[in-house]
A and B are shown apart, each in its own frame.
Chain A
């Protein structure tokens, strides 16, 4: 799979390598062209990510900001070249001239409309760099209104259009936007459906906590079993009997899409919740749980992935049974116990996000479940690793999974989640019987379950394309190693505290060569709950610990917070940073920052990384790190040249100073101090001029060297 990743990377540069990138066409649509030789499609999977008509995507472009567009047509030419027609979104920076004084939010984009160049283009499909989460915030009644959450998680939002013909900003969407039916402009209804489900789940929290979920394969001989209480969900899954469809929806709903590597089917979850007194908790938890399915075989076979598991801090025993029952195929039962820790969220009493990954390897009925339960812990992410050994609180998971593989698609998936022992007794009767019958001895699936904290399920949304790749690489590695934690970059767009799991340095290193965009690091938000110690204190402690680093060659415009974010994203270390404030003698071209770490070890790690490796910021500034110790401050006020005192009068003048409130004045031309002051002014101008010359020369030198960089 590493190969595939490499392929993807390269495809960004040159498209000729695309054979290596995984590609599967989705549903066909129609045939077109003069001789009916063009096949249109509705969806496709490219490099593990499924794209559907009217999805928003990043389009690869040289430079920092990829283009954003909406897929409005997908087809394959007779020569097998794959094309997509993209209707563009404009960033405000791209239409700055026409915006004039229109106020634009930072992540607002404009949908191209009208007629003319710039509306849409046909592009090679391989130019797609990744999915882009663009949410329509139009208040138009036809637009399914996004939740605040969704808006926060969106990469971009839009509610206005830009007419490429008249170069005007349109506040309203008419029926057609640049030829595109307005219903494809607005948010999809699906997401609304999903939120029903979520709401439903939370509403039901005090009801029966065990829910059964059945997804019936199209051609399954078994009758669909609907449970009234999950009617929304069931309704949906019935409709989406074809599992690929299910998956699409799940993806859309839960933003998991970036994790999917292969043709996968995912069935979404029914969060059962017990003892949770907070409806909000239930909702959040429901929203952030995903399951990721993975199928190495093909799109047809049905790997099943279910669901989210919610634990409660008070009673952390959850029983979960997932039963996937087939027609007549061999039955595999996996029974396992998982210990995990329920971690307290800071604001909600307890929240758990569960992510299950079921991998279905070929048709050999080995079923391995990787279970990732993500909880949340307020503070540092370091200790959020594998929690299996934690004795404190446990979730007991009894997963009984019966899986059958026949021709694919013909399987019935049944899934039960209980969060209460009692409920398990009650509702679990059937499944447990089944389990007994099928016999634990048949347990042969490699089952490994990883517990891991994840802050917010939505962390899996696709942010910038490259990040998605990183994530998926990690997911894969985890699988390979069978027990490692999944590291995840969490985008912290919203105010929700988010946390990402600890990432081993190795994983960070793997990011080598890939750009990542610096966003607010999660900890920055959670620190709101704690009074951060004053900088002076942090600085002095760190100085004593010899854990103080000076970063140089920063863009002087960066703020201290941004420096902290950079360190966090690049090295996964928390620190407190302070940009060295510019004074009269500072370089206007190069910024410095003091970075204080908690421990010497952390500082050494970061310094070593920055010194041996190279962290390029904005493609032109490699950071330079060096240890510093602060000059000792003596008790006395430091000496200051240029304030003179006649020796004999010193004592007297000092007394006067203390009494004086204001000791300033403009010197008069007939005094001796005026003359001397003038000498100082001369020295100051000379100093100004040498500083200017020095910094200008330094800037030129840097520019000259930077011009040798191949990648700008």
Chain B
């Protein structure tokens, strides 16, 4: 019994020094995550949380175990305060403290006793439980919808940003080309406008 408690205490310590990184690109591998976080602390282990049920377009999540709880805290504040990007831009990843329920291999909490009971339709509570079941299903739908909504929002934002990016790129390309083929220089000479780039030559 004691050993179970010890095991669980050790596990709780592990939870404290672990962080959850989410919104990871599917292209991110363990090596990538490890390398990108190694600058803040000593990464012990990276474990991706498998996503069985949600659409695959949801960003990946990974549990990253660090050397100690302090490092974990530092990383969380570091990542949250800046736009920390892994494997792509500009969508940053998020970090938060890990929770027990995020772990797949969590040990059974000592002392927990689960009591089950079958209710049949004659039970006075049966109707209420039917209601609860219904509500649970409804909640699952709500969550599903919410997630869908979130993915749409993400999609929209990404689309918008792609446009901005492409527009910006076009603009810079144009500028680059006029600078590159000396059109800018010539124009500045003609209009006697001071051009910084041209000046340097």
| Interchain CB contact (< 8 A) of B52 among A553, A582, A594, A617 | A594
Q: How far is the CA of A683 from the CA of B150 in the complex (A)?
A: 9
Interface residues in A144-165 (C-beta closer than 8 Å to B): none
Task: State which of A615, A648, A664 has its C-beta within 8 Å of the C-beta of B118.
Answer: A615
CA distance A663 to B29 in the complex (A): 11
Q: Quick one: which of B52, B88, B89, B137 contacts A552, CB cutoff 8 A?
A: B137
Whether B128 and A708, one on each chain, are in contact in the complex, defined by CB atoms closer than 8 angstroms, is yes
* Contact (A515, B161) CB under 8 Å given A663-B32, A684-B94: no
Interface residues of B in 66-115 (CB under 8 A from A): 78, 82-92, 94, 96, 99-104, 106-115
Q: Is B18 an interface residue when CB atoms closer than 8 A count as contact?
A: no
> Is B168 close to A, CB under 8 A?
yes
Chain A contacts for B89, CB-based, 8 A: 643-644, 667, 673, 676-677
Q: Which of A571-591 contact B (CB under 8 A)?
A: 578-588, 590-591
A513: Cβ under 8 A from any B Cβ? yes
Chain B interface residue count, Cβ-Cβ cutoff 8 angstroms? 97
Most buried by B among A565, A624, A640: A640
Residues of B within 8 A of A643 (CB): 25, 27, 87-91
Does B114 lie within 8 Å of A642, measured CB to CB? no
Q: Which residues of chain B (125-170) have a CB below 8 Å from chain A?
A: 125-126, 128-133, 135-137, 139-140, 142-143, 146-147, 149-151, 153-155, 157-158, 161-162, 164-166, 168-169
Q: Are A614 and B91 in contact (CB under 8 A)?
A: no
A9 at interface by CB-CB < 8 Å: no
Residue in B closest to A699 when the chains form the complex, CB atoms = B139
Chain B residues with CB below 8 A from A619, complex form: 115, 117
- In the complex, identify which listed stretch (A250-258, A440-448, A630-638) lies at the interface while the others stay far away: A630-638
Complex-state Cα separation, A28 to B89, whole angstroms: 86
Q: Are A674 and B36 in contact (CB under 8 A)?
A: no
A664 touches B32 (CB 8 A): yes
Is the beta-carbon distance between B164 and A676 smaller than 8 angstroms?
yes
Give B129's nearest chain A residue, CB to CB: A622
Contact check, B157 vs A622: say whether CB atoms are below 8 A apart.
no
* Cβ B111 vs Cβ A106 within 8 A: yes
Select which of B54, B59, B146, B168 is within 8 A of A640 by beta carbon: B59
CB-CB under 8 A from B87, the residues of chain A are 643, 657, 663-664
B146 and A690 form a contact (CB under 8 A): yes
Q: Are A106 and B169 in contact (CB under 8 A)?
A: no
Mostly, the B contact residues are mixed
In-complex Cβ contact of A514 among B58, B117, B158, B165 (8 A): B117
Number of A-B contacts (CB under 8 A): 319
Given A616-B119, A646-B169, A701-B135: A578 and B158 interface contact (C-beta under 8 Å): no
A583 touches B112 (CB 8 A): no
0 or 1 for each of A95-131: is its CB under 8 Å from B? (1 = yes): 0000000010111100000000000000000000000
Query: Are B1 and A107 touching (Cβ within 8 A)?
Result: yes
Binds B, one of A176-184, A188-196, A239-247, A554-562: A554-562
Please name the residue on chain B nearest to A553 by beta carbon: B136
**Is there contact, CB below 8 Å, between A666 and B82?**
yes
> A553: which of B133, B154, B164 is its contact (CB, 8 Å)?
B133
A31 in the interface (beta carbon within 8 A): no
A619 to chain B, nearest CB (A): 7
Are B53 and A580 touching (Cβ within 8 A)? yes
Neighbouring B residues of A517 by C-beta, 8 Å: 113-116
- Contact of A642 with B113 at beta-carbon distance under 8 Å, contacts A580-B52, A666-B83 already known: no
Q: Say whether B135 contacts A513, CB under 8 Å.
A: no
Q: Is the CB of A677 within 8 A of B61?
A: no
A642 touches B36 (CB 8 A): no
Q: Quick one: closest A residue to B103, CB to CB? A: A581
Q: Which residues of B contact A570 (CB under 8 A)?
A: 116, 118
Q: A518-B114, A553-B133 are in contact. Are A667 and B1 (CB under 8 A)?
A: no
Name the interface residues of A21-70: CB closer than 8 Å to any CB of B: 64-65
Provide the bound-state CA to CA distance between A515 and B118, in Å.
7
Partner of B20, one of A106, A584, A675, A701: A584
Beyond A559-B107, A663-B32, A706-B132, whether A587 also contacts B114 by CB under 8 A is no
CB distance from B12 to the nearest CB of A (A): 13
Tell me the complex Cα distance, A690–B129, Å: 27
Chain A residues with CB under 8 Å of B113's CB are 64-65, 517-518
Q: How far is the CB of B119 from chain A (nearest CB, A)?
A: 4
Minimal Cβ-Cβ distance residue in B for A690: B146
Nearest Cβ on chain A to B158's Cβ, whole angstroms:
4
Which 8 A-B residue pairings sit nearest by Cβ, starting from the closest?
A643-B88, A642-B91, A677-B83, A664-B36, A105-B1, A676-B90, A638-B56, A673-B90
**New contact pairs (15) apart from A641-B151, A664-B86, CB-CB < 8 Å:** A516-B115, A550-B53, A560-B104, A584-B20, A585-B143, A591-B101, A614-B120, A614-B123, A622-B136, A644-B88, A662-B36, A676-B89, A690-B149, A702-B132, A705-B135
Could you show 14 A-B contacts with beta carbons less than 8 Å apart?
A103-B2, A512-B118, A584-B20, A637-B26, A638-B56, A641-B57, A641-B91, A642-B90, A643-B27, A644-B162, A676-B161, A681-B92, A705-B131, A711-B125
Residues of B within 8 A of A (CB): 1-2, 4-5, 20, 22-23, 25-27, 31-32, 35-37, 49-59, 61, 78, 82-92, 94, 96, 99-104, 106-121, 123-126, 128-133, 135-137, 139-140, 142-143, 146-147, 149-151, 153-155, 157-158, 161-162, 164-166, 168-169
| A interface with B by C-beta (< 8 Å) | 64-65, 93, 103, 105-108, 508-509, 511-518, 539, 550, 552-553, 556-562, 565-566, 569-570, 578-588, 590-592, 594, 613-619, 621-622, 624, 626, 628, 630-631, 633-634, 637-648, 657, 661-667, 672-681, 683-684, 686-687, 690-691, 694-695, 698, 701-702, 705-706, 708-711
